[in-house]
C-alpha cells in the first residue's frame, strides 16, 4: 500500500489522453502498483450512453431533457485497480464495452449537459480513497488539484492499430478502415467540443507511448511519482 501523508487526504493520480494512447491499460497497471482504486471515467460515459439510448435519446437531439440525465441510476463499486458498474441494479461492466456503446458515448460526451451531469459523480468517487482516474479531462476539469497528472499520447496510426487489435481480441467483427475513421472522428470531437476539450493540463507530464510497451510506460510513470511525490511510493 502507498505511504500516506499526515493529512490522510485521498490522493488522485489523473491520466488523460486520446483514445488508443494506452490510458486504460496504464491506469490499471499503475493503480495495481500503488494499491489505489481505479476510476475509468470513459466507462461512466458509456453507462450514460447506454442509459440514454435505452430511453430513445438521440445524441444529435437539439435538447436532452434534464429528467433523462437525472434519472440515471448508476452505482460505482471501486476496487483496487478496477471497478464494477451497475445500471438500474444490472451489472453492465462488460456490456458497455461494445463498440456501438463506445461510439454513442463519444457522441454524447461532446454534449455539455452530459458532462455536467457526470461531474459530481466522478468527484464523489475521488473523495472516497486514493485513486487513479483516467479519461479526457481528469487533470483539467474533474480533478484540477490532483497530486499527479499524466497526459498519454501516441501516433494516430498506432492508436488506431491498438484499438483495432483490442476489438478483435474481444471477438468483435470490425473493419480496419472503419476503426481508423472512427478514431479520427473521435479525436476531432474530443479536441473541438465546447466544454472540457481534450488538452494536457499545464502541470501534466506528457508521455508519448508510440513504440513503447505498457511496462516501459509504467516504469516512466512510477519513476516520476517516486522522484516528485515520494509520499505516493509503495512500501
List, for residues 172-227, the tens digit of each pLDDT value. 888 899 889 988 888 888 888 777 788 999 999 999 999 999 999 999 999 998 88
Domain CATH for 193: 3.40.50.300
| C-alpha cell at position 93 | 461492466
**16-29 residue pLDDT tens:** 999 889 998 999 99
In a domain, 89, yes or no: yes
**117-164 residue pLDDT tens:** 999 888 887 777 788 999 889 999 999 999 899 999 999 999 999 888
In a domain, 5, yes or no: no
CB 73 within 8 A of CB 167: no
* Main-chain phi, psi angles of 168, to 5 degrees: -65, -40
In a domain, 1, yes or no: no
In a domain, 2, yes or no: no
* Domain extent for 112: 12-232
In a domain, 143, yes or no: yes
CB 47 within 8 A of CB 117: no
In a domain, 44, yes or no: yes
Residues 6+ apart with CB under 8 A from 75: 85, 86, 89
Report d(CA 103, CA 68) in Å as an integer: 19
* Main-chain phi, psi angles of 133, to 5 degrees: -115, 125
Count: domains in the chain: 1
In a domain, 4, yes or no: no
CB 19 within 8 A of CB 82: no
Residue 88 has pLDDT above 80, yes or no: yes
**32-75 residue pLDDT tens:** 999 898 988 888 999 999 999 999 999 999 999 999 999 999 99
Extended beta strands in the chain, E state: 12-16, 37-40, 74-79, 82-87, 90-91, 131-135, 148-153, 205-208
In a domain, 56, yes or no: yes
| C-alpha cell at position 98 | 461494445
The model carries a pTM of: 0.81
Amino acid at each position: 500500500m502507498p505511504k500516506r501523508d499526515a493529512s490522510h487526504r485521498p490522493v488522485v493520480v489523473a491520466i488523460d489522453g486520446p483514445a488508443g494512447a494506452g490510458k486504460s491499460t496504464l491506469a490499471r497497471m499503475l493503480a495495481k502498483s500503488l494499491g489505489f482504486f481505479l476510476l475509468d471515467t470513459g466507462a461512466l460515459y458509456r453507462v450514460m450512453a447506454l442509459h440514454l439510448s435505452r430511453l430513445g435519446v438521440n445524441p444529435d437531439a437539439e435538447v436532452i431533457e434534464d429528467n433523462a440525465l437525472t434519472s440515471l441510476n448508476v452505482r460505482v463499486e471501486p476496487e483496487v485497480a478496477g471497478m464494477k458498474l451497475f445500471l438500474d441494479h444490472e451489472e453492465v461492466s462488460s456490456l458497455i464495452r461494445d463498440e456501438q456503446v463506445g461510439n454513442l458515448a463519444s457522441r454524447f460526451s461532446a454534449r455539455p449537459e452530459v458532462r455536467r451531469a457526470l461531474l459530481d459523480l466522478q468527484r464523489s468517487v475521488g473523495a472516497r480513497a486514493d485513486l487513479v482516474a483516467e479519461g479526457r479531462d481528469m487533470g483539467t476539469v474533474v480533478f484540477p488539484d490532483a497530486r499527479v497528472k499524466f497526459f498519454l499520447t501516441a501516433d494516430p496510426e498506432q492508436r488506431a492499430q491498438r484499438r483495432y487489435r483490442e476489438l478483435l481480441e474481444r471477438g468483435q467483427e470490425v473493419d480496419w478502415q472503419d476503426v481508423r475513421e472512427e478514431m479520427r472522428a473521435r479525436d476531432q470531437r474530443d479536441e473541438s467540443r465546447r466544454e472540457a476539450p481534450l488538452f494536457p493540463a499545464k502541470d501534466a507530464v506528457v508521455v508519448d507511448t508510440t513504440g513503447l510497451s505498457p511496462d516501459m510506460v509504467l516504469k516512466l510513470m512510477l519513476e516520476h511519482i517516486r522522484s516528485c511525490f515520494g509520499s505516493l511510493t509503495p512500501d
